[in-house]
Chains A and B, each alone.
Chain A
Amino acid sequence: MDAIILQILNGLDKGSAYALIALGLTLIFGTLGVVNFAHGALFMIGAFCAVTLSRILNLSYETIDPNKTDFLGNPAKVKTTYVEDWLGPDMGGAIIDWAVPLAILFSIPVMVAIGFVMERGLIKHFYKRPHADQILVTFGLAIVLQEIIKYFYGANPIPTGAPDVFRGSFDFGVMLGFDPNAIIYPYWRLVYFAFAAVIIGGVFAFLQFTTFGMVVRAGMADRETVQLLGINIDKRFTIMFGIAAAVAGLAGVMYAPINSPNYHMGMDFLVLSFVVVVVGGMGSLPGAVLAGFLLGVLESFASMNEIKSILPGIDQIIIYLVAIIILLTRPRGLMGRKGVMEE
């Protein structure tokens, strides 16, 4: 039992990332009908927002401290960050420590802006073109974004830590009444899951309970009728593109402590997220979320040693295998509407 719970928990953090990226992809596909291969790059840019903020906060100047000496006996140079200098060591230190959560605030405007520019500048011109063209142009854009990040940040992964409070692991099993040391779980992964749940809940609430969301949902169902009612649906869809970009970016920001950001992390996630979208059903938001968590958990179950000893290598291919089976037996995906993109 505890082994099963452990695997479910292990699957949740990756599943959360899949779910968030797939949610954004589905938002874009459902509203604009565009297959966005650059979505993984948006996730990656989000992670680099965290890197950037933590670098900005760590900007420092050097002073010579006469009281200290280094190991050669010379007066030691002490680095003081500007933030600590302005706000005092306690407050400043705390802000630097919390760089990754703070990057959430920093990344939202950045990502929304990138989303707007992308949609208005490029994707707008591809609505009428075939899906293959959309895939190709966004694939090209993904390469460009990736190379720009590589140019500024280098090719190596950049470790970006979580706040001290959330470092390390805790014994989750004891809380649930299992033996100690049965389920050890890192704090940050739990934070990531909770964060993903909040974001997903927020997006759904926004679409369900606001007038804006209602119009967008109406536009997804029947674009022409909404336009005939005199509503500028294009403008709203552009805003949804910005929101989808922000969701991907936020997923990336919070993922930075789990996996050190590197320039090709987007491409690694992109393929899997597409598989997730297809499994969930193109255009179905709940389907994307469900399939994200489902595939994340399945992947972690498949990497259990007991299962690997029966089916070697299953952990490497389980997601693709599920996708192939789903596509062949139920092409509209787990929760896709009947008749939408069935062929």
Chain B
Amino acid sequence: MLGLNKRDFSLLLIVAVLALGAPFILNPFPTDSAMAQFNAGYPDLMQRFAIYGIFAIGFNILFGLTGYLSFGHAAFLGVGSYSAVWMFKLLSMNVIPAILLSVIVAGLFALLIGFISLRRSGIYFAILTLAFAQMSFNLAYSVLTPITNGETGLQLTLDDPRILGVSRTADGSIPVTNLFGMEMREFSTLNVGHWSFDFSVGYYVCAVLMLLSFYIAIRIFRSPFGMMLRAIKSNNTRMTYTGLNARPYALAAFVISGMYAGLAGGLLASMDPLAGAERMQWTASGEVVLMTILGGAGTLIGPVLGAGFIKYFENIFSKINDSVLHSWFSFMPDGIENLLVTLVHPFVGKGWHLTLGLLFMLVVIFLPGGLVEGGQRIARLFRRKKPDDAKKSTQSTPAE
């Protein structure tokens, strides 16, 4: 179906069900229960799941398939955000032209950077992309202030032209981003007993685009072009010896993944029309690398899992503070309760980055294939009931 084999189609179907049902699935706890803070089903967070999912899927097309580690992908996300906000300022508040422009601009930018950077490989390629991204970041902060509005970030104002829209609404405020009249921040709430589910327009726009990106990614993975990219990863020299110039293929992958990043940036700006230079900083590029590796580089579903995992932790773990911890451990004797709170305290709340860093190291050390490989190992344990056998074949070969 849709040009996919049965297995890929069922994967797509699962992702589609998960994405479209996310408002239900991510809100498993009643709103008045103590566990309600683990609910992730509010529009803002779900949008970020989908957007960073797109970003990571795109990064995976480059890193997972060709093995080129780019440390400057956030630059494309930033460029996408800026172009989208400019579109909102100049043309209209409809998200379609904004997203289209951000994808195109990011693609062109990626073409330029990729054309230069792909002359080198390995660590040199990483440094080149890093250098380009840092240059963009520094320039966006300083000289390009007329375009990027420097430190403040690019924002909408009341006297933007907006040729096809209105500069200001009837009540004198800035209009909101919409899709043919459906406002992005609009949402309806469904209450079932103690549960409440939010369905937001913005999230569904993101989710549909993520499904589309995911579908395209599957097609790329299974195409002859994808096969060529894997060949570049496994042995570039041999490719050259067979008389084939591999660089155009790598460049195509780079541009495609840059366009994915631009789409993610455009969506970020569509959900909240504001673009700042810090989105381009190299730590932001590092984040997408983390997502992809954590989920499983070179696998289809891995990057989406990784993006969701990191964004979930960022939001939920950073919210756990000492009083929450005390309420969890309150059933224990006071001394042990305080001890446990003190022990857990550095890892949650403001310190959640520490947990993330540790988790990330553990994954790189023990599970080079990421969460997907972890899942496969567990699945194998259950299926065969022969741990010895499973150990021998834990080699996950998603991208090789």
Contact = CB atoms under 8 A, between A and B. Distances in A.
A and B together in one complex = yes
Given A143-B356, A324-B132, A278 B127 contact: yes
A136 interface: yes
Interface in B257-286: 282-283, 286
Contact of B283 (A35, A125, A267): A267
Interface stretch (A44-52, A183-191, A250-258, A311-319): A311-319
B69 A144 contact: no
Contacts of A274: 127, 130
A275 B129 CA distance: 11
Interface in B45-71: 67, 69
B365 A275 contact: no
Given A141-B361, A327-B127, A327-B128, A271 B134 contact: yes
Interface string B125-169: 011101110110011011110000000000000000000000000
Contacts of B286: 139
B241 to A, nearest CB: 14
A317 to B, nearest CB: 4
A151 B351 contact: yes
Interface in B338-364: 346, 351, 353-354, 356-358, 360-361, 364
Main SS class of interface, B: helix
B139 A317 contact: yes
Interface string A30-66: 0000010000000000000000000000000000000
B131 A320 contact: yes
A18 B326 CA distance: 46
B245 interface: no
A198 interface: no
A35 B127 contact: no
B69 A135 contact: yes
A328 interface: yes
B139 A147 contact: no
Contacts, number: 105
Contact of B361 (A35, A144, A312, A321): A144
Contact of A320 (B135, B351, B358): B135
Interface in B353-387: 353-354, 356-358, 360-361, 364-365, 368
B131 A275 contact: yes
B123 interface: yes
Contacts of A122: 361, 365
Contact of B357 (A140, A320, A343): A140
A144 B357 contact: yes
A137 B364 contact: yes
Interface residues of B, number: 40
A220 interface: no
Most interface-central of A321, A327, A331 (chain B CB within 10 A): A327
B134 A320 contact: yes
B259 to A, nearest CB: 23
Interface string B290-312: 00010000000000000000000
A224 interface: no
Nearest to B356: A143
Given A143-B356, A144-B354, A144-B361, A133 B141 contact: no
Given A324-B132, A343-B120, A143 B138 contact: no
Most interface-central of A132, A133, A331 (chain B CB within 10 A): A132
A28 B331 CA distance: 50
B164 to A, nearest CB: 33
Contacts of B356: 143
B121 A35 contact: no
Contact of A143 (B124, B131, B353): B353
Contacts of A131: 122-123
Interface in B11-28: none
B354 A151 contact: yes
Contacts of A323: 127-128, 131
Nearest to A320: B131
A87 interface: no
Contacts of A136: 289, 293, 360, 364
Given A147-B353, A320-B132, A313 B142 contact: yes
A343 B127 contact: no
A148 B351 CA distance: 9
Contacts of B128: 323-324, 327
Nearest to B137: A316
A141 B122 CA distance: 21
Given A133-B368, A136-B289, A275-B127, A317 B135 contact: yes
A148 B127 contact: no
Given A136-B360, A143-B354, 12 more contacts: A132-B67, A132-B69, A141-B357, A143-B356, A146-B357, A148-B354, A313-B139, A313-B144, A320-B131, A324-B131, A327-B127, A328-B120
Sort A-B residue pairs by CB-CB distance and give the 6 closest, nearest first: A313-B143, A143-B357, A316-B138, A147-B354, A140-B361, A320-B131
13 contacts: A137-B361, A137-B365, A139-B289, A143-B353, A143-B354, A146-B357, A147-B357, A271-B130, A275-B127, A316-B141, A324-B132, A327-B124, A328-B119
